[in-house]
Chains A and B, each alone.
Chain A
Amino acid sequence: MLADPLWLLIATCALATFATRVLPFIALAEQAEHPLVLHLGRYLPPAVMMILVIYALRDFRPLIDWQLNMGETGFPMFLAAGLVTILHLWRRNALLSIMLGTGAYMAMVQLSGTA
């Protein structure tokens, strides 16, 4: 069973993935209170979050062949992201912002698909 390349491949992926996650905890085990580690702990999460937003919206294309793009990567994406932002600045209710934003996005892409 272990000689099967499929299981060898799964084990390799599992170990490689875990290695990337565990590395800092092994290499810097004694450094958790170091000012540089605290500095990164303070500023890195907001930066990563902003980058994940940019990454999630990276496929946004307002126009396709000079026509308004109403598909999954078009205005529904832009409008729903704007709706989430406005709702959250207004009500500060995470679930409400996410549910209404996602619902609006689904409605827009599904309706424009059938039209």
Chain B
Amino acid sequence: MISQAWREAGLQTLPVMFGYLPLGAAFGILAVEMGIPWYAAMAMSFLIYAGAGQFLAIALLASGAGIIEVAVATLMLNSRHVFYGLSLLKRFQGAGWRKPYLIFALTDETYSLLTSQSGSNAANHSLAFRISLLNQFWWVLGTLLGVAVGSAKLFDSQGIEFALTALFIVLTLEQARRLRQALPFIIALGTGFGALLWLPDQHLLLGAIGSASLLLLVHYHLASKRSHGHAS
């Protein structure tokens, strides 16, 4: 029997499943083709659990990069996660034993789902835990399919990763409906297109999210100065 709670989490992670299964499989296939043992590829999806980070790791491994190089490259690539934690400090308060895993499993997609909960779900730690766990399950299952089946195609799944793009579009619309303020979207359009124009692909996300955070910091200072001025 699948409980109501798991069913709700499962339904919410369905779009992520459509993205993570093929992407995880692509990672598994590539890892095996690069000569990485299947169990090491699985271990990476269990222990690292970062899409782009894992692709980078096998590329570095194939090029014979040193440990320091690998550490620096991984820190650079994933440093946008620092900003995710910033906006979840309060959300994860009181999560107890679930908290270490919630932090470990904070991918782009999980962050998107967790920050889009409304009503009583917005402070529901067990729902957040189920969503995080299921998302990693899809990723690990995808990797397993990739290392097991290899490049033999089961069905024509070309284009299925669009589910993640569609998920981000839907969640952006939901955020806009909830917030009813243009400011963060204007900032995001500015930094997003700015990064697209001026930054190389591998620094695009970090550059856009980092500068959006900085602009929000400036906005905070301006807003608090203004309200302070009114009060005095």
Per DSSP, chain A at the interface is: helix
User: Which residue of A is nearest B37, CB measured?
Assistant: A6
A31 contacts across to B, CB distance below 8 A: 89
CA A43 to CA B186, docked complex, whole Å: 11
A68 within 8 A of B: no
Chief secondary structure at chain B's binding surface: helix
Total inter-chain residue pairs, C-beta < 8 Å: 261
In Å, the complex CA distance between A85 and B60 comes to: 38
Contacts of B90 in A (CB 8 A): 32-33, 37-38, 41
Which listed residue (B71, B104, B156) contacts A12, Cβ 8 A? Answer: B71
A97 touches which one: B75, B170, B205 (CB < 8 A)?
B170
Chain B interface residue count, Cβ-Cβ cutoff 8 angstroms: 92
CA distance A105 to B165 in the complex (A): 11
From A18, A39, A98, residue with most partner B Cβ within 10 Å = A98
A3 in the interface (beta carbon within 8 A): no
Contacts of A80 in B (CB 8 A): 162, 165-166
Chain B residue at minimal CB-CB distance from A36: B220
**B204 shortest CB reach to chain A, Å:** 6
Q: How far apart are the CA atoms of A41 and B179 in the complex, in Å?
A: 12
A residues sitting closer than 8 Å to B (CB atoms) are: 5-25, 28, 31-33, 35-58, 72, 76-77, 80-81, 84-85, 88-89, 94-95, 97-98, 101-102, 105-106, 108-110, 113
